[in-house]
Amino acid sequence: MEDTSAALRRLADRVRAAASDGAALEIRGGGTKRFYGEAPRGETLLTTDLVGISSYEPTELVVTVRAGTPLAELEAVLAARGQCLAFEPPRFAPQGTVGGMVAAGLSGPARASVGAVRDFVLGVSLLNGRGEYLTFGGQVMKNVAGYDVSRLQAGAWGILGLLCEVSLKVLPVRPATLTLSWARDEAAALADLLRWSAQPLPLHASSWLDGRLCLRLAGASAAVEEARTLLGGTALIPEEAARWWDGLRDHAHEFLQPDAQALAQGDCLWRLSVPAKTPALALPGRQLIEWGGSLRWWRTAAPAEGVRAAAAAAGGHATLVRAADKTCGAFAPLAPALLRIHQDLKTAFDPTHVLNPGRLYAGL
């Protein structure tokens, strides 16, 4: 494997050549998220030679890692020191990379209690669409002034730059965890989650599916035990709880994996982000609720305009995650003012639209 400086030169040369030729490049790490969003296009540009942890200061809760490093490798290093990526990024498959994690901006079950990927990004280094190597942010939270370009990369799907290195805030693993379960209909589950969120409880993750409400508590042992006594419910054995939350985190649960036959029959997987207080949505199909009620996964054959209208009426938006046909667009359409901001940012970072064109929205 080539050294990092040689890998950076090679990648920069490829970007400059593509810009000169008017060609497109598809940035790819492990390729685990190619199904998400709009279809990638362009010649493949792999980041997998940018590997390794540049620096790690466990006492400072900061790690700097190259973008092509496998996420599993980083998490193993952190776990050895009793630390973690608190936002529980979906891994999808073992070959997923740190750069892909940031570019996708996806968070797992703990997102509602600890924050999103962008909240943990301290700094990034990237290649822009001219092949220039740029560095933003640093290794401390106070290093941000003006436009926060580092966090802007979270969820940009690579259209603003090829991530080369990222600095992340890490956190200690919670000393105690416990998952409780209840039989609840949707309305009762949403009411419970809203009520519990207003109380001083060590809430860490929640889910509701097919009449079963699960709540993960995490924190100091005394706080977890006190909450257990207060809330009641049935405690899941640790192995069962780990399987459940890992299945949701990594989209390994059958609900989040519609098979080819289901997709061909029009069954789609939608991700609706709405205010937690939103009551039950009137959509046909089957639903999985996370994040205290603010994330509603739907398996439905309802028309895209109906799903998006339901999300918008609640003050949220809908993303089409898995479908046989995404001609309606994977991401919710932007208002004209927001679209102009996206277009201006794309032009500033990638004037000739070399990097992942169309991955997020057409024309970007």
Q: What is the pTM of this model?
A: 0.95
Q: Can you read off the two tokens belonging to residue 175?
A: 């000393």
**Cα–Cα distance for residue pair 269/289, rounded to 1 Å:** 13
Mean of all residue pLDDT scores within the chain:
95
SS3 percent helix, strand, coil of the chain, rounded to 5, is: 35, 25, 40
**Cα–Cα distance for residue pair 189/208, rounded to 1 Å:** 7
HSE-up (13 A, CA, CB side) for residue 205: 22
Cβ atoms of 121 and 105 within 8 Å: the answer is: no
C-alpha separations of 298 from 99, 109, 193, 236, 314 in Å:
28, 16, 19, 25, 15
pLDDT digits (tens, 9 = 90+) for 32-84: 999 999 988 899 999 999 999 999 999 999 999 999 999 999 999 999 999 99
Looking at residue 87, what DSSP letter applies?
T
Q: Could you give the domains of the chain? A: 4-172+343-349 (3.30.465.10), 176-249 (3.30.70), 259-322 (3.30.70)
**Cα–Cα distance for residue pair 77/51, rounded to 1 Å:** 14
| Element spanning 159, H or E | none
What are the start-end ranges of the H helices in the chain? 4-21, 71-80, 98-104, 111-114, 149-152, 186-197, 221-231, 238-249, 260-264, 304-313, 336-349
pLDDT digits (tens, 9 = 90+) for 202-246: 999 999 999 999 999 999 999 999 999 999 999 999 999 999 999
What are the start-end ranges of the H helices in 22-68? none
